[in-house]
Structure 1
Amino acid sequence: MKHSIFAIALLLFCSCITPSKKETPNKPVEHPEESIPPQGTKTTQPLEKTTPSTTNNLVVQLKTGSSLEDAKALITNSGLTWKANPLAPEYKSIALVVTPNGQRETWVQRLLQSNEFSTVVPQTKGTLEKLVNETKNTLISLRKTSCFGDCPVYTFRIFKDGAAKYQGDDFVTEKGNRTFQLTNEELNKLLALLSATEAITMEKKYDDPKITDLSSTFIEVRNQQVQIRLWKDIPDPLIALHEYTEGLLLQRKYFN
């Protein structure tokens, strides 16, 4: 009897100290897209949205001698919008053109092919400002158009610091864009000739409509443009200025 009671007590004691089986808690599900990248890791941010007023704008500049009214008519008749230059309204040859959504690059090519504009570029930060400053710093701009023969066709611009930009189109030795720097002597001579034109009155056009087989020469100085088709009754200082400016290109053999 004593042995039976001892056996029962021993069995109860062992059952009390036996560890019970614990349930393993469920692990949380990981979401890689919500994980935080290590410190110093670059993350890709969504691109900032640009407004249509920026993404659809072109900056344009008329060629020397192009008609402002004709250019505006071309723009509006094409379903585009012409906006005045907001930085320097006095330079009417520079403007903004608003194109339809997604068609800006297409219109760059079309407007350049129209032959009305010397510059057609998408508006980006500083584009308009750069073009306005370039125009403000121009001493003289010279442009020659075609005739029925082999007249040189080119555009030539000289800036206040003596830098020069040339674009040769037809019947020239050097085609395409070229740049060079005037010497101090050349620049001083040009400045003297420009000063001499301040004392004269220049007509907007020297022409004879009855004569058709003539090239046009457009000279732009002091934000004033002169068209010459007939070299008659032209003030001597203006002739001297033209001959010297053109001579700078002849010396460099850009055309004959």
Structure 2
Amino acid sequence: MKYLLLTFFVIALSCNQQSKEKKNTETTKTKKIITEKKENIKEEITEKSIVKTKEDLIVVLKNSKNVTDAKALIENSSLIWQELVIDENSLKAAIIKVPIDKKDFWLKRLKESNTFSSVEFHTKESVASIKYISENTFVKVRKTHCSGDCAVYDVILFKDGKVAFNGIENVLVKGTQEFNISEAKMKKIKGMFEKTSFGTYLDSYVDRSIMDFPSTFITHNNKQIEIKLWRNVPLELALAYEAFEDILYEKKLIE
């Protein structure tokens, strides 16, 4: 009889212990579920509270030596100049932030500012494209405004002989034109630029007292030269530029 009572007692104690363990397990699971729900709610609230108010644009400076003025233009327009993402001698590109509800307005406005050669939405692809163009450019020329009817344009001669022309003002053809030159012509222009000492020339052949003349910016081998008066320019550079400019005359893009 004693053994029978003892057996019942052990069984009852075991059942009670299992019941407690089950309750503890269920309580732990319940607490875990409640905690996870709270965390999910917090994440949802955080996601909803973060509203994108700015759009990133990437701008390429027309004059790589004019970073200070370009930055001032952005900041004086109540925009945010974030950083230079491409910082080379002849190529400067920056990320700026504009109000997202006015992104199209600023995209157009900055393109018309005459400070940037390109303005577009900032993506990995846009940065890669800018770098690709720079790395594959043989020579780039930019002609600015003057007080008269000077031709205003940008033109790039790529290493493979492709030409990209953008006529802006006082040109025979406005807008973008792309074409290829012959291997013989490419060889001639390449040879003439190789005869120059481009890397050792001055960065600027400009008389600041003369305001009415246009500037010619020539970029080659990661160096940019500004020319306003040609009388002091090395002869080899002047001849190389003339050979390059002849392409535009032959295509009847300028006169």
Structure 1 position 203 matched with structure 2 position 202: yes
Contact residue 85 and residue 92 of structure 1 kept, 8 A:
no
In 1, Cα distance between equivalents of 2:192 and 2:82: 36
* Counterpart residue number, 1:177: 176
In 2, Cα distance between equivalents of 1:177 and 1:65: 22
Does the residue aligned with 2:252 lie in a helix, a strand or coil? coil
Larger radius of gyration: 1
In 2, Cα distance between equivalents of 1:150 and 1:112: 22
* Counterpart residue number, 1:44: none
Does the residue aligned with 2:219 lie in a helix, a strand or coil? strand
In 2, Cα distance between equivalents of 1:97 and 1:113: 16
* Counterpart residue number, 2:159: 160
In 1, Cα distance between equivalents of 2:96 and 2:217: 25
Gaps in structure 1 of 5+ consecutive residues: 1-48
In 2, Cα distance between equivalents of 1:166 and 1:136: 18
Deviation at 1:81, TM superposition (A): 2.2
In 1, Cα distance between equivalents of 2:131 and 2:91: 10
Deviation at 1:131, TM superposition (A): 1.1
In 2, Cα distance between equivalents of 1:128 and 1:194: 28
Deviation at 1:109, TM superposition (A): 1.3
Does the residue aligned with 2:82 lie in a helix, a strand or coil? strand
In 1, Cα distance between equivalents of 2:201 and 2:51: 45
Q: How much is the aligned-residue C-alpha RMSD, in angstroms?
A: 2.4
Deviation at 1:114, TM superposition (A): 1.4
Counterparts of 1:44-123 in structure 2, within 5 Å, are: 52=52, 56-64=55-63, 67-86=66-85, 88-90=86-88, 92-123=91-122
State TM-score, norm by structure 2: 0.74
Deviation at 1:85, TM superposition (A): 4.1
Deviation at 1:52, TM superposition (A): 4.7
In 2, Cα distance between equivalents of 1:233 and 1:110: 37
In 1, Cα distance between equivalents of 2:137 and 2:91: 15
Report Cα offsets for 1:127-170 as digits up to 9, x if no partner: 11111111121111101112222211111111111111001111
In 2, Cα distance between equivalents of 1:220 and 1:184: 21
Does the residue aligned with 1:249 lie in a helix, a strand or coil? helix
Does the residue aligned with 1:82 lie in a helix, a strand or coil? strand
* Counterpart residue number, 1:134: 133
* Counterpart residue number, 2:218: 219
Aligned identity (percent) is 34
Contact residue 65 and residue 227 of structure 1 kept, 8 A:
no
Deviation at 1:238, TM superposition (A): 0.9
Deviation at 1:113, TM superposition (A): 2.0
Report Cα offsets for 1:37-82 as digits up to 9, x if no partner: xxxxxxxxxxxx99959x7111111124772211011112222222
Gaps in structure 2 of 5+ consecutive residues: 1-47
Tell me the matched-pair count. Answer: 207
